[in-house]
Chain A
Amino acid sequence: MKSPTLNPSPTREALTPYSLVGEAGHGRWDIKNELQKTKMKQLISINVNGDEYEVAVRVTTTLLDLLREELKLTGTKKGCELGDCGACTVIMDGKAVNACLVLAVDSVGKKVETIESLATGGELHPIQRAFVEKGAIQCGYCTPGMIMRTKSILDKNPNPTKKEIKEELSGNLCRCTGYTKIVEAIETARDYLNGKQPVELVFMPQKSAIDLSVVGKRLPKIDAADKATGRALYTDDITLPNMIYGKLLLSSVPHARILSIDTSRAKVLPGVKVVLTGADVPDVRWGTSPPRYDETILAKDKVRFVGDVVAAVAAIDEETCYRALDLIKVEYEELQAVFDPMEAMKDDAPRLFDDKYENNINTHVDHHFGDIEKGFAEADYIREERFTGNRTYQNPMEPHCSIAEWDNHGRVTLHTSTQVVHYVHHQISHILGIPLGDIRVIMTNCGGGFGAKASTTTIEVMSIFLSRVAGCAVKMRFSREEMYLFGRGRHKQYIDLKIGVKNDGTITAVKQKAVLEGGAYSSFGIVSTYYAGSMLPTLYKFPNYKYDGYRVNTNLPPCGAFRGHGCPHPRFAFESLLTMIADDIGMDSIDIRLKNAMTPEYHTCNDLDIHSCEFKACIEKVRQKSDWDLKKGKLPRGRGIGIGCGGFVSGAGYPIYRSKFPHSSVTIKIIEDGSRAVIFIGDADIGQGSDTVLAMAACEAMGISYDRISVVSADSDLTPIGFGAYSSRVTLMGGNAAKMAGEEVKKQVIAQAAEIMKVEAFMLDAKDNRIYLKKDPSTFIPWEKAGFEHFSKKGPLLGKGHYSPPEGLGGKYKGAAVGTSPAYSFSATICEVEVDMETGKVKVLNFWDAHDCGTAVNPMLVEGQTEGAVLMGMSEVLFENEVFDKRGKMINADLHNYLIATSADMPEIQSTIVDSYEPAGPYGAKEVGEGATLPILGAIANAVADAIGVRIFELPITPQTVLEAIHGIDKRQDKMK
């Protein structure tokens, strides 16, 4: 405890009755007082990382902005700005604080420690080392805050238990890792600091990886140390010379015609450089899926949701931007708005688009495979139920940020936080009407995406327009609220699902009707609607299937692609209903799944081709690990166990727009002396670790070790095309390209070695930095010797690789492309919960999950994906839901009211990777990122139903819905007509 008599610091405060730090301004952005200079700065001294700084700050400057903007200590991250996420955690006078909620002028005389202080002389601090080694870092955006919080925990208590760590860490949110590996890392750091060697992990490689040198190993991510030290640059960490800032004016009304926009007062505000409205930008329609390009650059005549983009300003700083936005007067003629998709489909409902989408139906899918009538006629038992999903948002920890700058040759460079460099590149080319060659898109480090950054954003587009007019670099970033309003989160789906089975559990027919609440624009929605139907037949075999899908426009933020894209709600419905049917016909939930489970080399009723498939092994594994047979039906009331299964594509079979480009491509350059390879990857590492995975595949292919490769990725000038991180595609597609490029290098280097060793090339192989005689591995030369020789004699040693899925995937019907993939993942999860029967609160205790992801290129990263998916899925099921008021304004657009799971909510997660080999994948690998999400929803729903004896049909499963279910209150809406 601090001394009760806190010393007033012997600064100027002691000399005067009070220190006047800044004089008052009046009102928030009152134009009358513009001339009254309120921007007077105050010189303060502050000790940061042991150094004394004198800095001039305004009274409104937060400690976070002081560190990032004034001292350029950008390791401390800005995540929510409201004290909810902990990304800006620093240690002040020995205590962890959120730097976003400390005024710089209040930190005078204090000692501040930031992430930059930890590593000394190039040596990582033991906490950083533990985070790197244990795989606790994915996107890295929460990492500096996590590490500083860890330091404050361990400084205070050198021996915290796991439970204490989980509780103490709960003010630091992470969306990637599921906290499991972070908690492990803290336990490891604790041991390091106490001079103990942590327990070594016993690790059994998969069968398919036994003979491999790099692939299949638990290696730290290639960028982990940079992220652990705060050195990794995210877009918002970059300041270009002569850079100004941009902000968007968002619609305050849900549906209106714009009568007039008056920007005159904004334009004359000192510091304002550019003000743009719809009249100033080309009349181009853009979006995500070309058949549904329906967004304008800035609103033309109408706004369609609270958050629609009306105008944009650029000014010398963000504050001036906000002042300018307040001075823009928009006159609206409000139109009737519609927020409910069922209402929106009615004939008399207000239309969002006058010229298209009749009845606001943005997309309609009508699929029928086999014979649904016959299928249900053959069934011994049929059950139909209505399930309702929730509207959730990805919430990557890093808010979107973009910086655009035009050069003197009419070429624009965009630094951006994206998952899809090429699609941004393509879209900007479409919008500006200039070739790809006139645009350079550079992805910086990306602080998570999960789909939120899987298409072009309004700030990417507008920073380019503002920069062109301003003639200098323009940075734009979203606040957390603006992220929610930009939207593109998960569609809320209303699903009517009907399944027919024989007495032995064999599924004979499935009928699904899904209504997707789409928000104002299309975004990915057309694809989401197809995905909602197409993936059901990939997990269980059934010959007869009918799917009716409707995506309906409403006056809410547009929905898009969120981890599992369109599939999690139908999968939740299916897994729930299958368990209900099993219970109805007296069959075990696992047995009914095994009865119908997908097997290898199967052609589904909707013309998808399954190749490798170890789904049954996944189910058997979790059955055994969870003690299912001992627990199912034997747990006391209030305890429950449930199973859910899932799977996903390993990359979409077709690109988002019609394109003949390879889906992934890679080049490799060997440094002249042969000592190192640099791999140039088009695909995007958004934290999932694709840079690492592709580097590992390339190392394996070349025969060099992992410490001899560096990565350059996702820069359209430097790296060849890659479609980016979406549809769980990078490991398989990018991995194949990396392997191919590596093999090309290997072929050349072996040819060179053959000359040196005076043998035939076919007699040699390369592995572990040696080129050796296959017959006698003890006869070898160092890899680098051959590399060096090659360069000296033949010039650059380069490799290139590319990957496109096999041609002709899928059927011939409309929409057959969605759901196609070279390979499919499979997984099963068993969840155990405890429900407080008096309050309805659900506590998830355990998850046992098993995954068929083919060969795990890096098992530690695979676990990171599965643990992250478990926690994110759990968070979506139990906590998350976007809520809007009657005027369509989101009322929980922050991390204080839109809750996501903390470390204190983390269940025990035991992940297993089953033995599997996918011939289409690099070294047998396929996806895990999105597929791992799919089983979670149904597993929790089934476990809760098992615990309370009542089924819950609607997400999220809140304590209130659970208690109402226990009390027998059924609030489900009537069945869809």
Chain B
Amino acid sequence: MVLPDFGFYQPISVKDAIDLLMQKPNAAAMAGGTDLLVEMKNGIRRSENLVSLAKIPEMKFIKEDVKNLFIGACTTHSEVIASPLIGKFAPALVEAASKIGSNQIRNTGTIGGNICTAASCCDSAPILLALNASVEIAGTENIRVVPLRDFFTFNKKTILKKGELVTRIIVPKSEPGIGACYEKFGLREAGSIAVVSVAAKVQLVNDICVDACIVIGAVAPTPKISGQATTVLKGKKVSEFAEDLPLLEEAGNAAVRDSIPIDDIRGGAQYRRDVLKVLVKRTIRRAFELAVNNEK
């Protein structure tokens, strides 16, 4: 097993990276390389030129302002996990990042890479979607900020155009009354791909759910916000979501209606629906618990 030939560039600024991506034929940006190099070795991907983002300081940082966290796209999963800022203002993102691959993969793979690979089973996107994150995209012309919910177009496809790079991820900080969490269902205890994943965010004001977002992963071509499940939650009381209550069941069913799962070696479509429903219920209950604790 060998890597096929490619031209390799290590720009030190975003602008240079973009220039290279524009100039070099069939060029791809590489962050940690944990997906890309595997695809290259397997012969699935044939990029003639790789533009490494590893040496661009302006893509590797974790910052904040009053409302948001800003995470450089080349921040590794391990750096996300270790960040006190993220731990304080987006703990569910830490939870999701810690479920990615192995320690070795998390030390190399990046949050931006995870999003841009755009696998429907990717672990960071569902919780970022639930938290209403945005991505900052730099291109030749301008820099634009796009809500993550508008970023994915299909399995392994995004809105990124030639010469565009995701430079940072903007995550709204958690506020009192918000509870969010991520559940992944894999076939073994560690290092497995999500068969189904669910992220949930709820916001409570006086025990009423004023805002919610349920995101389902690995059950559609992209990680997907379940509009129907979200609707079930909004405006309801926390107590209506106790175990075995019809509303919780309804939220699960709603998420299933929003899913379009496929059969693959990890599970059949119907099985994915069954597990999705269970995971949605569990995630909602846990998100509410977190929200209740966070409200106090």
In the complex formed, the residue of B with least CB distance to A58 is B5
- For residue B89, CB closer than 8 A to chain A, the reply is no
CA distance A6 to B275 in the complex (A): 42
Q: Taking the complex as formed, is B161 at the interface, i.e. its CB lies under 8 A from any CB of chain A?
A: no
A7 and B56 CA atoms in complex are apart in Å by 9
A62 to B9, CA, bound (A): 15
Q: Is the CB of A18 within 8 A of B9?
A: yes
**B164 interface residue, CB < 8 Å from A?**
no
Whether A958 pairs with B187 at a CB distance below 8 angstroms is yes
Query: Which A residues are CB-close (under 8 A) to B63?
Result: 4
Q: Among the listed B6, B84, B278, which residue makes an inter-chain contact with A838, where contact means beta carbons less than 8 Å apart?
A: B278
From B24, B105, B191, give the contact of A902 (CB < 8 A): B191
Taking CB atoms and an 8 Å cut-off, the chain A residues in 1-54 that contact chain B are 1-2, 4-9, 13-14, 17-29, 38
Is B188 close to A, CB under 8 A? yes
Whether A17 pairs with B190 at a CB distance below 8 angstroms is: no
| Also in contact, A59 and B8, with CB within 8 A (given A5-B61, A905-B189) | yes
Measured CB to CB, the nearest residue on chain A to B9 is A18
Q: Are A1 and B37 in contact (CB under 8 A)?
A: no
Given the complex of chains A and B, what is the CA–CA distance between A82 and B39 in angstroms? Answer: 9
Contact with B along A91-120 (1 / 0, CB 8 A): 010011110011101100000000000000
Least CB separation from A479: chain B residue: B1
Cβ–Cβ < 8 Å partners of A89 in chain B: 104
Give the contact-size bracket for chain B: 35 or more
**Is the pair A22, B7 in contact by a Cβ cutoff of 8 Å?**
yes
Q: Are A170's CB and B12's CB within 8 A?
A: no
Contact with A along B1-15 (1 / 0, CB 8 A): 111111111111100
Contacts of B54 in A (CB 8 A): 106
B236 within 8 A of A: no
Nearest A-chain residue to B38, judged by Cβ:
A82
> A212: CB under 8 A from chain B?
no
Q: Are B46 and A98 in contact (CB under 8 A)?
A: no
A963 at the B interface (CB under 8 A): yes
Q: How many A-B residue pairs have CB under 8 A?
A: 198
Q: Assuming the A-B contacts A6-B57, A60-B5, are A1 and B10 also in contact, with contact meaning beta carbons closer than 8 angstroms in the complex? A: no
Q: Which B residues touch A83, using CB under 8 A?
A: 34, 38, 101-102, 104-105
B57 adjacent to A7 (CB under 8 Å): yes
Pairwise interchain contact A18-B12, C-beta atoms closer than 8 A: yes
Q: Is the C-beta of B62 less than 8 angstroms from some C-beta in chain A?
A: yes
By a CB distance below 8 angstroms, the chain B residues around A963 are 271, 274-275
| Contact of A332 with B by CB under 8 A | no
Q: Contact: A106 with B33, CB < 8 Å? A: yes
In angstroms, how far is the closest chain B Cβ from the Cβ of A636?
Answer: 17
Interface membership of B235, Cβ < 8 A? no
How distant is the Cα of A964 from the Cα of B82 in the complex, in angstroms? 40
Question: Which applies to chain A's interface (DSSP): helix, strand, loop or mixed?
Answer: loop
Contacts of B7 in A (CB 8 A): 20, 22-25, 59
Asked if A149 is at the interface of the complex by the 8 Å CB criterion, the answer is yes
Report B152-184 residues with CB < 8 Å from chain A CB.
Answer: none
Does chain A have a CB within 8 A of B66? no
Cα–Cα distance between A23 and B104 once the two chains are bound (Å): 29
A23 to B8, CA, bound (A): 7
B57 pairs with A5, CB closer than 8 A: yes
In the bound assembly, the distance between CA atoms of A83 and B33 in angstroms comes to: 11
- Partner of A102 from B33, B55, B192 at Cβ < 8 Å: B33
Within 8 Å of chain A (Cβ to Cβ): is B20? yes
A171 with B191, Cβ < 8 A, contacts A101-B34, A963-B274 known? yes
A105→B187 CA distance, assembly (Å)? 35
Cα-based distance from A841 to B188 in the complex (angstroms): 9
Decide yes or no: A170 and B190 within 8 Å by CB, A103-B33, A106-B52 being known contacts: yes
* Residue from the list A21, A102, A103, A883 in contact with B265, Cβ < 8 A: A883
Q: Is residue B78 within 8 Å, beta carbon to beta carbon, of the partner chain?
A: yes
Write the nearest CB–CB distance from A891 to chain B, whole angstroms.
7
Q: Quick check: B104 and A18 within 8 Å, CB to CB?
A: no
What's the least CB distance linking B278 to chain A, in Å? 4
When C-beta atoms are compared, the residue in chain B nearest to A167 turns out to be B190
| Other-chain contact of A62, B3, B5, B17, B84 (Cβ < 8 Å) | B3
A848 to B192, CA, bound (A): 27
Which 6 A-B pairs give the minimum distances between C-beta atoms? A171-B102, A24-B7, A25-B5, A170-B190, A4-B61, A904-B189
Other A-B contacts than A81-B1, A318-B2, A960-B271, 8 sampled, CB-CB below 8 A, are A18-B16, A18-B20, A20-B7, A83-B102, A103-B8, A103-B33, A879-B187, A902-B190
**CB<8 Å pairs between A and B, sample of 22:** A1-B84, A18-B10, A24-B7, A24-B24, A24-B25, A26-B48, A27-B46, A27-B48, A59-B6, A82-B42, A83-B105, A95-B107, A98-B108, A103-B52, A481-B1, A839-B279, A878-B188, A879-B187, A896-B38, A905-B190, A963-B271, A963-B275
